[in-house]
Amino acid sequence: MRDCSVIFFLLPSTVNTFLVTGRVLVNCLMGMSRSSTCVLAFLMLRRDMTAVQALTEVRRHRDIRPNDGFLRQLADLDNRLRRERGRLARPADQAAN
């Protein structure tokens, strides 16, 4: 399993550049795990979706199965984005309550 999170913040600007033409194909060998993880991260970062919302949306159109490691990376990204967007209390904030 690779750490895809290192490209999560590079990917959206690249995808946005190509979205001007209407569609973007994101592909890897099997198309089930690595490429879907990148698409999910894009939706989370640029379309303001949670990990669950992104998974639900993509699964409406494609059979994707991000592996456990990639799901963990998406969960970490989801938590980070929720904190940054003010939707999730930081651990220290939770202890104070």
Residue 41 token pair: 């991260």
Identify which of 91, 77, 69, 89 has the alpha carbon closest to the alpha carbon of residue 40: 77
Our answer to whether residue 38 is catalytic in this structure is no
| Pairwise CA distance, residues 97 & 94, whole Å | 5
The active-site residue, picked from 19, 28, 75, 89, is: 28
Residue 29 exposure: Cα atoms within 13 Å on the Cβ side = 0
Could you list the active site residues?
28
